[in-house]
Amino acid sequence: MKIDLHLHAKERSSCSNVTEKQHIEAAIKLGLDAIVFTDHDKLVPLEHLKELNKKYYPFKIFGGIEVRLCDSGEDFLVLGLHDNILQENKWTYEKLYKYVKENNGFIALAHPYRYVHSIASNIEKYVPDAIEIHSTNIGKDDSEDIKKLAEKLNTRLISNSDGHDSKYVGIYYNDIEGNPETDAGLIALLKAGKYKHSCFEPARIEEFNNTVREREAIIKKLIKENKDRKYYHELTGNWEGEFDRVALGKSREI
């Protein structure tokens, strides 16, 4: 099963440019077998997931959530759980980790080192099930640090699109052994490491990177002119995080 575990749809994530329908149809066209919607602090209602799976069968749609921590501001993907408490509570990492583990869910650190050089959450004590190593929000210059971190913690890696636009669905994905029908089946295979990560199509990566290079040339020029992230957004309409990463001395090339 080819699956993208990290996607955002505009029905629940205001930062997304596309609908569930556009994501799903793009994923099917690109040859994926399944996706997971992991919107920002919002769950997909279970009944709606059932409707989507019935409509697009045999393609599979799973629901997860991307939780932003109230203390560190870091993001963690939570899969396999559908309790409203996930979107209603304010979470520290310790509390979120313990809740996920007590309820047999799956927790992964999303886009580490995106705007920083270190991880604030105590992942050495509370080791996540996986760390995301590739996505449209993880520059390739962070890959080696992420690999070393996963090796140090003896945890697994996952690769996803973090797609906010359907043209990026499955630009990175995971190839899972088997064809799980349920959340429990998916989580069991992920925890057992029954998958290959870092699956991608080079032509799509290069197309993405060409856009990044063009935008970063603009950002570098603006930085020399002492312009800020707000000016960049007002000038181009592009996401301010692109400016932040370049200002940190990093690239968004993947």
Q: What's the CA gap between 77 and 106, in Å, rounded? A: 8
Structure token digits, residue 125: 């004590």
Integer-rounded Cα radius of gyration of the chain: 18
In the sheet that holds 2-7, the strands lie side by side as 156-159, 130-134, 106-109, 75-79, 60-68, 34-37, 2-7, 172-176, 195-200
pLDDT for position 146 = 98
- On whether residue 41 sits in a domain, the answer given is yes
Q: Specify the number of domains making up the chain.
A: 2
Per-residue pLDDT of the chain (254 residues; tens, 9 = 90+): 999 999 999 999 999 989 999 999 999 999 999 999 999 999 999 999 999 999 999 999 999 999 999 999 999 999 999 999 999 999 999 999 999 999 999 999 999 999 999 999 999 999 999 999 999 999 999 999 999 999 999 999 999 999 999 999 999 999 999 999 999 999 999 999 999 998 998 999 999 999 999 999 999 999 999 999 999 999 999 999 999 999 999 999 99
Number of Cβ within 10 Å of residue 32's Cβ equals 20
Domain match, 239 and 118 both: no
pLDDT for position 36 = 98
Domain match, 140 and 213 both: no
Domain match, 168 and 102 both: yes
Domain match, 234 and 187 both: no
pLDDT for position 184 = 97
- On whether residue 62 sits in a domain, the answer given is yes
pLDDT for position 201 = 84
Domain match, 150 and 33 both: yes
pLDDT for position 130 = 98
Q: Can you give the CATH number for the domain in which 170 is found?
A: 3.20.20.140
Q: Which domain holds residue 72?
A: 2-200
Domain match, 196 and 217 both: no
**Tokens 């957004």, located at residue:** 233
Which of 146, 108, 109, 136 has the alpha carbon at shortest distance from 205? 136
- On whether residue 222 sits in a domain, the answer given is yes
Domain match, 194 and 242 both: no
pLDDT for position 188 = 98
pTM above 0.85, yes or no: yes
pLDDT for position 126 = 98
- On whether residue 239 sits in a domain, the answer given is yes
- On whether residue 253 sits in a domain, the answer given is no
Domain match, 228 and 149 both: no
DSSP state of 68: E
CA distances from 52 to 27, 30, 59, 77, 95 (A): 14, 18, 9, 21, 31
